[in-house]
Amino acid sequence: MKYRFLILFTIFCSTWLHAAEIVLSGVYQGKNIYVQNPFSGGGNKDFCTIEVFVNNTRVYSNILSSAYEIDLSHHKLHDPIAIKIVHKEDCKPKILNPQVLKSTSSFNFNSVTVTSEHLTWATKGEKPNGKMIVEHFVNNSWSVIKEIKGKESAIMCNYEIPVYHNSGINKFRIKYVEGDGQVFYSQVGEFNSTLPPVDFYPKRVSDKIFLTRDSDYEILDAYGNSKLKGRGKEIDVKAEPSGIYYINADNKTFKIFKK
């Protein structure tokens, strides 16, 4: 049995060691992608494609047909799309309509930089009526912190805004929305803050919650409804009814009881 397991393990690894990739990226324009999937050259009638990923999520594996469709219909128009087809090395699938993901825009993000106090970025190829939406990754989701009208210049444009950090790793990105609705995302900029983690008191509160330092915060009720938002060290909850609440602050969630 040990000998048989070793043979099977070797065959499995060998399949992945001899794989290649096709990568296609662009924006969703309302159409799916179609792929021809030939037999591999091994002589055992295996098809070429091993796996298909869309935006780093595996959507298909072990496709047993000579052609297939990559369904993108759950995406919104102009969403960024990155497709990766992992295939056997001795064959190559053919994407029949790659043009449906091609963007008609010449817009590009040239750089994104985060410091202890500022987020800066540069663009090229802006069009009229565009806008920049700055997002901060907080509590496992991207949160909008600022919206800026684009400078509408085809040559290099530079931007800088002040930012506040949580303790630890902070991630920022910029979403550019053109006047016709096309959307572009910048690379993610990161900054590792040495600020101390935020704590709070008391856990059973009548009037005010005190944070150990200034921080962005949000108070949620037991059903997840947002009740208060702001930035500072003191949060006045006197007007809120008794019950269980949650504080989102410093990329953490705390539970409190309002008396």
Q: What distance in Å separates the CA atoms of residue 213 and residue 234, rounded to the nearest whole number?
A: 9
CA angle, residues 24, 137, 246, in degrees to nearest 5: 140
Residue among 139, 136, 134 at smallest CA distance from 247:
139
The confidence band for 103, taking pLDDT boundaries of 50, 70 and 90, is low
pLDDT in tens, 155-164: 899 999 999 9
CA 247 and chain centroid, separation: 24
pLDDT at 111: 94
Q: In the chain, what percentage of residues exceed pLDDT 90?
A: 71
Q: Answer whether 238's CB lies under 8 Å from 258's CB.
A: no
4: pLDDT strictly greater than 50? no
Q: Which two tokens stand for residue 91?
A: 């064959």
Nearest to 232 by CA among 245, 246, 219: 219
Q: Domains along the chain? A: 2-101 (no CATH), 108-193 (2.60.40.10), 200-258 (no CATH)
Are 248 and 139 contacting, i.e. CB atoms less than 8 angstroms apart? yes
Q: For 13-72, how does the pLDDT look when each residue is reduced to its tens digit (9 = 90+)?
A: 334 446 889 999 888 888 999 999 999 876 677 899 999 999 999 999 989 999 999 999
pLDDT one-digit tens code per residue, 187-213: 999 999 999 999 999 999 999 999 999
